[in-house]
Structure formats: C-alpha cells, structure tokens
C-alpha cells in the first residue's frame, strides 16, 4: 500500500531562479548524491523536459526510473 507524505520549505530566491535549478536535470548528479545519472529523453517545443531518466543509488535502494513531466 502506498503512503503519502508532504512537507514544505521556504526558499529565499526568485521563482525563475528556483525553476532554472530544478529543471536542469543534467546537473542533478552534481548536487544530489543519490542521483548517479540523469538524461533528458524528450523535450517539448520550448525545450522543457517531458521525459527524464534518472539512475538512483541511495545505498540499499537502487533504481532506474523514467519520469514524465506534463
């Protein structure tokens, strides 16, 4: 059975600056230790990621996943 969690934080930065960081999937391995590889598989007409492959290694949990962004 799936569980639901939620949390929030306040980021002292302009929304556009935050979006620039979280949308830069290729750099995820630089700042997220668990992400070992990140590859944008598909983009929309504006160049935004629509499908991203992430290879994760968080010790006991290892995963290769493809995420869809709409």
Domain that holds residue 39: 34-70
What would the DSSP string read from start to end of the chain?
------------S-HHHHHHHHT-GGGHHHH-TTEEEEEEEEE-TTS-EEEEEEEEEETTEEEEEEEE--
Give domain status of residue 61, yes or no.
Answer: yes
In this prediction, residue 64 carries a pLDDT of 97
pLDDT digits (tens, 9 = 90+) for 12-54: 999 999 999 999 999 999 999 999 999 999 999 999 999 999 9
* pLDDT over 80 (residue 1): no
Domain count within the chain = 1
This prediction's pTM? 0.76
Give domain status of residue 14, yes or no.
Answer: no
The span from the CA of 12 to the CA of 45, in Å, is 30
Confidence bin at 70 (pLDDT 50/70/90): confident
């Amino acid at each position: 059975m799936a569980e639901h969690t939620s949390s929030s934080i306040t980021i002292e930065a302009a929304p556009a600056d935050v979006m620039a960081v979280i949308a830069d999937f290729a750099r995820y391995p630089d700042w997220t230790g668990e992400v070992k590889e990140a590859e944008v598989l598909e983009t929309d007409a504006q160049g935004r990621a629509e499908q991203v492959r992430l290879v994760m290694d968080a010790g006991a949990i290892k995963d290769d996943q493809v995420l869809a962004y709409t």
